[in-house]
């Protein structure tokens, strides 16, 4: 059986996390060799290739890809892979969205992986509208890929908690972007289109989160939100063997989420 262990993590700045201890005695650049994921997807990297040191971009045993935003120090996604993908594509929705460096798509023989940093809608009505338009464009894209018979997994910071069990204080956040009915309804549409929240294939309870507010020290109290996901479509679901949340890994206001795939 061929196994793929995938990690997805919003690092809130790849340069900021570079020197941090993410596990006891383990700095961020050492995490790959320590954990040995086959693929590590990063979001909110806030950097381009010119601003990154070799200890970040040239980790032995891994290929490195990055899609920066045109705006310096903003957004961006990156990916480390043990196996060289058969193809890599950055962006792919429209010029309106692609300038923010929010997608890397990697194709492997067994599946196609999309690493996505979905927009945050909390700053203004304009940004909420941008987020919802991004959501719609992305759903249209993955539905077309699904219709073509692709095995699809997409991951990243979706910036929305789906159900009340996905955040510690649902009542207090009903009118906050990230838990608005219109945002949550989009996840319902993703599921209706034949995609599965991989974490919920294994865990039905609440209390497990992937983001905590820095300012209120929410992580110490586990007052968090589950807004980071791996979604798989029906064609890939039979190959999912495990999913999880690595809330023991520090260094960002998010923690990594994981997915394991196994192929005969």
Encode pLDDT of 176-202 as tens digits. 999 999 999 999 999 999 999 999 999
Instruction: Output DSSP code: residue 36.
Output: -
Encode pLDDT of 78-106 as tens digits. 999 999 999 999 999 999 899 999 999 99
**Domain parsing of the chain, residue ranges:** 2-263
Structure tokens at 148: 């073509």
C-alpha pair distances (Å), 255 with each of 43, 61, 85:
11, 23, 25
Residues 6+ apart with CB under 8 A from 181: none
Q: What is 58-79 written as a DSSP string?
A: --TT-EEEEE--SSTTS--EEE
Side-by-side strand order, sheet with 87-90: 87-90, 103-107, 112-117, 152-157, 228-233, 195-197
Given this model, what pLDDT does residue 58 score? 96
- Torsion angle defined by CA atoms of residues 139, 140, 141 and 144, in that order, rounded to the nearest 10 degrees: 120
Given this model, what pLDDT does residue 79 score? 98
Fold of 2-263: Deoxyribonuclease I; Chain A (3.60.10)
Given this model, what pLDDT does residue 166 score? 98
Given this model, what pLDDT does residue 119 score? 97
Given this model, what pLDDT does residue 123 score? 77
Given this model, what pLDDT does residue 122 score? 86
Q: Tens-digit pLDDT profile for the chain (264 aa)?
A: 899 999 999 999 999 999 999 999 999 999 999 999 999 999 999 999 999 999 999 999 999 999 999 999 999 999 999 999 999 999 999 998 999 999 999 999 999 999 999 999 987 999 999 999 999 999 999 999 999 999 999 999 999 999 999 999 999 999 999 999 999 999 999 999 999 999 999 999 999 999 999 989 999 999 999 999 999 999 999 999 999 999 999 999 999 999 999 999
Burial class (CB in 10 A: 0-12, 13-18, 19+), 223: middle
Q: Strands 152-157, 112-117: parallel, antiparallel or unpaired by DSSP?
A: parallel
Given this model, what pLDDT does residue 2 score? 96
Task: List the beta bridge partners of residue 26.
Answer: 23
Given this model, what pLDDT does residue 236 score? 98
pTM above 0.75, yes or no: yes
Given this model, what pLDDT does residue 167 score? 98
Instruction: Indicate the length of the chain as a whole number.
Output: 264
- Considering only CA atoms, which of 243, 245, 240 is closest in space to residue 255? 245
Active-site amino acid positions: 157
């Amino acid at each position: 059986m061929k196994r793929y262990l995938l990690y997805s993590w919003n690092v809130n700045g790849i340069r900021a996390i570079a020197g941090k201890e993410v596990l006891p005695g383990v700095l961020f650049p050492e995490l790959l060799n320590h954990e040995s994921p086959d693929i590590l997807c990063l979001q909110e990297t806030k950097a381009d290739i010119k601003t990154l040191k070799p200890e970040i971009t040239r980790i032995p045993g891994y290929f490195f890809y990055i899609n920066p935003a045109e705006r310096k120090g903003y957004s961006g996604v990156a990916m480390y892979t043990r196996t060289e993908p058969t193809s890599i594509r950055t962006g792919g929705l429209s010029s309106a969205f692609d300038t923010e460096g929010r997608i890397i798509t990697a194709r492997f023989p067994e599946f196609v992986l999309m690493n996505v940093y979905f927009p945050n809608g909390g700053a203004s009505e304009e940004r909420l509208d941008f987020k919802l338009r991004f959501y719609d464009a992305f759903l249209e894209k993955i539905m077309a890929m699904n219709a073509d018979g692709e095995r699809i997994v997409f991951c990243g910071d979706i910036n929305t908690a789906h159900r009340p069990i996905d955040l510690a204080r649902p009542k207090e956040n009903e009118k906050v972007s990230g838990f608005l009915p219109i945002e949550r309804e989009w996840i319902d549409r993703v599921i209706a289109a034949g995609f599965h929240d991989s974490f919920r294939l294994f865990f039905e309870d609440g209390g497990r989160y992937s983001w905590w507010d820095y300012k209120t020290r929410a992580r110490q109290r586990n007052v968090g939100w589950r807004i980071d996901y791996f979604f798989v479509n029906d064609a890939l679901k039979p190959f999912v063997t495990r999913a999880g949340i690595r809330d023991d890994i520090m260094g960002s206001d998010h923690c990594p989420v994981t997915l394991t795939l196994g192929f005969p």
